Amino acid sequence: MENTETKKKSFNELINDDTPVLVDFYADWCAPCRMMPPILHELKSAMGDKLNIIKIDTERNPDVAIKYQVRGIPNLILFHKGQLLWQQAGVVRMPQLQQIIEEKLAQ
């Protein structure tokens, strides 16, 4: 999912970037969270370089989860140039997810 360039940047650098970022907050013990990777791979294939996707383990990064009020997981947050454009808890299917992202970026 992440390319090497993405790994070198901090979370704040990534979400303030010109490229929109979809953040998937998850935990290893969360069964619904395991449904997201194939959906996110399909989304990345469809959107390519127009979207970066990163995964944040809420167990290892509780401060980030608290900052963005992640109460349920999986929890998806779309950022663009530091702005939180959209947030939703639960599994979102690929066609719906792509549509939401494209609509939010067009606003």
| Annotated active-site residue in 30, 46, 91, 94 | 30
- The residue behind tokens 């370089």 is 49
Domains observed in the chain = 17-106 (3.40.30.10)
- Written as six digits, the tokens of 61 are 């990064």
Cα–Cα dist 71/38, whole Å: 23
Q: Catalytic annotation on 53? A: no
Q: How far is CA 31 from the centre of its chain?
A: 18
Tell me if residue 71 falls in helix, strand or coil.
Answer: coil
Closest CA to 17 of 70, 48, 55, 53: 53
Q: Catalytic annotation on 92? A: no
| Annotated active-site residue in 23, 33, 51, 73 | 33
pLDDT in tens, 62-83: 999 999 999 999 999 999 999 9
pLDDT in tens, 1-36: 444 444 568 899 999 999 999 999 999 999 999 999
Residue 9's pLDDT is what?
81
Phi, psi of 98 (to 5 degrees): -65, -40
